[in-house]
Structure 1
Amino acid sequence: MVKSILLVGVGGQGTILASKLLTTGLMEAGYDVKMSEIHGMSQREGSVSSQVRYGDEIQSPVIEIGGADILVSFEKMEALRWFKYLKPNGKVIVNDYEIDSMPILSGKEEYSQGIIDEISSRASTIVIDAQKYALQLGNSKVMNVILLGSIIKAMELEAINWEKIVRDNVKPQFVEVNLKAIEVGMNLL
């Protein structure tokens, strides 16, 4: 059985790092994994997406419209922008966090109000204030790993040795805070 996870955010949020940790963990657990990432001006608050597909045999890294089992949005406007990729019975995990992306900063779009209400009315939605928990851990940059923890729990991937994955892929000075961040994220679901 193939599972598809779509991670979306804004440049600088650590979306790609979270997807790489996820992919590494899935591979070490023996899954066939394909990952595709789009950096869309990520250095300038542009949209960033990462598609992770895993199972016994994966032919393509690309998630088709209506094909994601779970949509994990690191920034709430991105959840709305990518919503069409969610399966009809899929789940959304959305970080209740706003960043003005390039279209908003340039005046081409306005930041939509009521995003979480709209998404919640259309799909099973879990809302997380990852910034609040990251600040409690003393490092705002671990929002991405908190959200990774929520993916681990939502996709029932707790049996994977995430401590090893973090220790092998994160700078030593940030290992402990990232391990705590995964635990926080898993406990939010």
Structure 2
Amino acid sequence: METINFMITGVGGQGTILASDILSAVGLAAGYDVKKSDILGLAVRGGAVMSHIRWGEKVHSPIIPEGRADYLLAFEILEGLRHLHQVQEAGHALINQQQIHPVTVSSGLTDYPDPAAADEALKSAVEHVYHVPGLQIAQEIGNPKVLNVALLGALSALLPVEASVWETVIAERVPERFKSLNTQAFRNGRTWMENNLQL
């Protein structure tokens, strides 16, 4: 059983920690040994958040060695660019198409990366790049807070775990009144990826 390394990165308040919890639980449900480490920035809301999740037959450390991540799930474009060095060249980068300007940008100290330059940096570093409209998918359902589950849906289409396993885990980890909404977000995210893999 080969070890699969995932890195999730984003900004506090986007639901990255719940996403890492769900991804870890899915790995366990699929029979993997799983290790996870969450790293929070200076502020829980608005600060950078990063999670390492590893699935394997026997995982000894939760920390992914630099340049060894198989999958980068970035909830925000700039955070994705910041962690490209963590992904192996043959890996997969799923980048939510959302800009959240850090204080250095909003205060005028630095500029937010140009979209064309950001795209070029992504494609030159990682073989498989997916520009996922996660926020748009969530908003179309009616609640931007399910962005995290929509992105997990996109990721799930690349992994050898049945969709039913994901949906069971998601249902166990979200409040009862939001189960239907999150299930729909997962399915729409997965469908988006499946459609784009066929292009």
Tell me which amino acid in the other structure corresponds to 1:143.
L
Do the aligned residues in 1 keep the contact of 2:30 with 2:161 (CA within 8 Å)?
A: no
1:33-81 CA-to-partner distances (Å, cap 9, x unmatched) read 0001111124341111011001100010001111100111000001110
Q: CA deviation at 1:118?
A: 2.3
Distance 1:109 1:154 in 2: 35
TM-score after normalising by structure 1: 0.94
Amino acid at match of 1:9: G
- In the aligned structure 2, how far is the partner of 1:11 from the partner of 1:102? 13
SS in 2 for 1:109: coil
Specify which of 105, 116, 140 is matched with residue 119 of structure 2. Answer: 116
- Mean alpha-carbon deviation: is it higher for 43-52 or for 97-106? 97-106
What is the one-letter code of the residue matched to 2:73?
V
Structure 1 stretches lacking a partner, 5+ long:
none
1:171 aligns with 2:171: no
Amino acid paired to 1:177: L
Name the counterpart of 2:61: 60
Q: Is the 8 A contact 2:84 2:125 kept in 1?
A: no
**Counterpart of 1:139 in structure 2: which amino acid?**
N
Whether the 8 Å contact between 1:44 and 1:102 is mirrored in structure 2 is no
Contact 2:74 2:94 in 1 (8 A): yes
2:155 match = 151
Q: Deviations over 1:139-167 (max 9, x none)?
A: 11111101011111122322552222122
1:76/1:116 contact within 8 Å kept: no
Q: Secondary structure at the match of 1:161?
A: helix
The residue type equivalent to 2:166 in the other structure is W
Taking every aligned residue pair, what percent have the same amino acid on both sides? 34
Cα 1:28–1:134 change in 2 (3 A) is same
Q: How many residues align?
A: 189
Shift of 1:122: 2.8
Is the deviation greater in 159-168 or in 78-87? 159-168
CA distance in 1, matches of 2:120, 2:161: 28
State the distance in 2 between where 1:145 and 1:44 align: 18
CA distance in 1, matches of 2:84, 2:107: 23
Q: Please tell me the root mean square deviation across aligned C-alpha atoms, in Å.
A: 1.5
Using a 3 Å threshold, how does the CA distance of structure 1 residues 33 and 102 change in structure 2: closer, same or farther? farther
**8 Å contact kept, 1:11–1:43:** yes
Structure 1 residues 133-152: aligned runs within 5 Å:
133-152=137-156
User: What secondary structure is seen at the aligned counterpart in 1 of 2:123?
Assistant: helix
- Give the partner amino acid of 1:25: V
Question: Which position in structure 2 is the counterpart of 1:78?
Answer: 79
Residues 105-147 of structure 1: CA deviation (Å, up to 9, x unaligned): 4554321113133212332201011111111101111111010
Q: Is 1:25 aligned to 2:26, yes or no?
A: yes
Letter in 2 for 1:146: A
1:188 & 1:93 partners in 2: Cα distance?
A: 12
